[in-house]
Structures are given as C-alpha cells and as structure tokens.
Amino acid sequence: MEKTQFDFLSEDFPDLLKHAKMAEAAALSDPRGSCFYARLTLETALKWLYSRDPALKDPYSDNLNALIAEPSLAKLTGPAIVAKADFIRVQGNRAAHEGGKRISANHAAATVRELFHVCYWIARTYSQNGKLDPALKFDAGKLEKTLTITASTVEQIKALSDKHAIAQEALKKAEEERKTSEEGRKALEEELARLRAEVAAARAANQSRPDEHDYDEATTRDAFIDLLLSEAGWPLDSSRDREFPVEGMPNQTGEGFVDYVLWGDDGKPLAVVEAKRTKKDARVGQQQAKLYADCLEKM
C-alpha cells in the first residue's frame, strides 16, 4: 500500500483520503496541482459535514467561501480549523486562477500541512472506529519529489475542476430525480436521518474525551502572513526577511528579533511586521514594532 500521512482517513473517510493523498504526493513535484487537490479535499469534507451534522446551518451558497464563512462552522470546530480551511481555500484559488503567479513547493507543503490538521479534526470528531492518536503530526520531511508527476498548468487545473463540477452536478440531478416520487423522497429522508443519527452519536462519543492534538495555530498564523506578504510582492526568500536580530531593545539583554523586515532595493529596511495572537491587543504589537524600527534605524 502506498505510504501516506493521511492513513487515519482510510476506514471512515475514503473519499477524503483519495484526494488528500494526491495533494500530498504532488506537493514537491506539482505544487499547483497539490493545492488544487487540497482544496478539493476540503470542499468534499465540508460538504460532507453540512449534509450530516445538524449543528451546521445551511449557508447562503454552496460555494467553498460561503461554507467556511458560515458562523455555525466556527462554533462547531473552533476558529483554528476555520483559519486553516481558509488558508487552503486561498491557496487552492491561487492554483486554479492565478497562472501568472508561481506556486512554490513551500506553499504546497504548507497547504498540505493545514489540510492534515483539518482532516485530523474531522476524523477525530466523527470516526466510528476508535480513538485517534493525538500525537499524530504532519512531517514535511516525508514529502518526496516524484519524477513521474509533471507540473500542472492553470488550464489543466480548470479542466480537472470542470470535470469534478460535472460529476457533482450529475449526483445532484440523480438525487433530485429520486425525490420526484413519494417513495424515493421518503427513502432519502430515512437515509439522511440514519446518517445524521450515526454522526451525532460518533461526535458525542469522541467529544466526551479532551482533544489533545496540537493543531499548531502559530504556524497557521505565520503561513497566512507569509502568504499575504507574498501576494503584496514581498517574496521573503532571504534569511534576513524573518527573525532579524536587532540591538538596543529595552530588555535585560538589549536584543530582539523582528518577525519580518521588508527591505528596499537599496538594502535598507522600509518596514517591520510584528505578528501577535488575535487574543492580544494590536497596540502591544504596534509598540513592539516601533521599538524594533527605532533599533533598526540606529543600527
């Protein structure tokens, strides 16, 4: 059997496993294709959730952005999973629509890492086959470059997306046709009620135990900042761009490390960026950034 870090999906979520494995396998060889399959895995997962868990309210649309933005999702999963889902969505959209922008292997690896955490949460919450090991971690070092995979173009990604959309529309049409008869409608309602009861029972049993998995929220935050700065034209491809050391800080050692420094063409710093948890007052980060900027100016 082909090795995959998503093996925990194999028993209860084979459809997710199928797409997740493709995202994982392509990360280093075909980053654009990898991000597309990560997005497809996420979309499949969320549509499964919305159809099965009554705790979720129907969003205003069935597109991925609306599925993620629906407040009942954050209430169910917590903000960390929603942030990871949104990161996957953004990277998937970049892969499918922004042919002029490069999708790096690092971008793809980060996207697969966030997908790993989202899939872990789903399996941990809804699995009917026992407890998942909370120590499971995604290891980017296990990703391998596959010579048999060629890099996808935006046109190829669009073709894959269109093919998937056609298949989904066919399934939807078949379900609508079943509803045309009283017998078919009743059978669908009974099937949905059974599935929702199974999901509710599994969720209740699994959530009765504390979730001890490390969802690594700090890494998600940093990945989003990297992505936003990259979108704004800062490649962050030099070691001095992150964790830049400064002297003259008002602390015991007088030293500090700037989260991000944005450099001008003349080699001088134009701006500093300080990352803080959303739980902290933004003015704390603003003051720290000002201290860093003053130190840089003196240096």
Q: In residues, how long is the chain?
A: 299
Contact 42, 19 (CB under 8 A): no
The kind and range of the H/E element at 204 are helix 182-207
For residue 140, what is the DSSP state? G
Q: How much is the average pLDDT of 188-214?
A: 89
**3 state SS of 257:** strand
Contact 299, 251 (CB under 8 A): no
Longest dimension (CA), the chain: 79
CA distance 292 to 288: 6
Using CA atoms, how far residue 111 sits from 51, 65, 158, 222, in Å, is 25, 16, 19, 12
CA 49-50-52 angle, to 5 degrees, is 65
Contact 102, 46 (CB under 8 A): no
Express each pLDDT in 34-93 by its tens digit: 999 999 999 999 999 999 999 999 999 989 999 999 999 999 999 999 999 999 999 999
Phi, psi of 247 (to 5 degrees): -120, 150
**3 state SS of 212:** coil
pLDDT band (50, 70, 90) for residue 1: very low
Closest CA to 103 of 114, 95, 113: 95
Closest CA to 46 of 60, 62, 31, 23: 62
Q: What percent of the chain has pLDDT over 70?
A: 98
Contact 272, 288 (CB under 8 A): no
Comparison of pLDDT for 58 and 146, the residue scoring more: 58
Closest CA to 42 of 13, 79, 12: 13
Express each pLDDT in 235-278 by its tens digit: 888 889 999 999 999 998 999 999 999 999 998 999 999 888 77
CA distance 128 to 199: 9
Using CA atoms, how far residue 140 sits from 5, 25, 111, 222, 224, in Å, is 10, 11, 11, 16, 17
The kind and range of the H/E element at 270 are strand 269-273
Look up the pTM and report it. 0.82
Mean pLDDT for the chain overall: 89
CA distance 169 to 197: 26
